[in-house]
Amino acid sequence: MIIDTHCHLDDSRYDNDLEKVLSNAKSRGVDKYIIPGADPDTLQKAVKIAESHEGVYFAVGVHPYDAHKYDRHVLEPFANHPKCVAVGECGLDYFRLPEDPQAAEAEKKRQAEVFIDQIVWAKSLDKPLIVHIREASADALALLEQYAGERGGVLHCFNADASLLKLAKRHFYYGIGGVLTFKNARKLVNVFPQIPKEKLLIETDAPYLTPHPHRGERNEPAYCTLVAEKMAALSELSVSEIEAISTKNAARLFGI
């Protein structure tokens, strides 16, 4: 069994064939899924999918790109839902900052405020975090070290910054997806063996970041198997061992 710990099943690209997507995934041994909260506008859709499918869970949170939409009071009613297993995805993303320096600093400040509030909220709920970090490792690390609770969380789509490996001691896990199979993923390939095996999670970020050899196509949870195969190739473990370890890790972190 494999748990896809990060897949956007509420994306409109699955509207016409979600049942087929899930059936295909199950035929490959993927039978549990976590839909991250990214945009509050689609949260209700994620909840409905989770309620109507036994193996689907969701998280509640706001992606840094949508920090301007963040309102914890709007999200709070969803946090106690029996299928809500985490807070996020939340974090820092400096990839698309405004060119104007003042505007860029204002955006960084807004993202940080929203991230901190979600970290503190997760701690109060005793739920793990799903963390998104892009080109902001130092700032994100500082905030997590200062504010995160003992439940930790997962660094979604781990960006291969070795400085973030110190978070493993603070109960953080590392989400590995299709990027590991990319030909230009040398940094992640080199850092991957340094990640403690008991902190590895498998994810797809579907419909994004489709693994080789399907790049350019819509990503699906079924492709978790391709990630597991690449992880095994870079370690001393077999594919079945990678699948078993990552599933045990996900079940422990998210309580599923």
CB atoms within 10 A of CB 54: 9
Averaged confidence pLDDT in the chain: 96
- Full-model pTM: 0.96
Give the three-state DSSP class for 175. strand
CA 219, distance to chain mean position in Å, is 15
Q: What is the pLDDT of residue 40?
A: 87
| Sequence spans of domains, the chain | 2-254
**In this structure, what token pair is assigned to residue 177?**
């997806």
What count of residues does the chain have?
256
Question: Which H or E element spans position 91?
Answer: strand 84-93
Q: What is the pLDDT of residue 4?
A: 98
2-254 sits in which CATH class? alpha beta
DSSP, res 36: -
Q: Which segments of the chain have a pLDDT < 70? A: none
Q: What is the pLDDT of residue 23?
A: 97
Q: What is the pLDDT of residue 38?
A: 84
Q: What is the pLDDT of residue 39?
A: 86
Strands 153-156, 2-4: pairing is unpaired
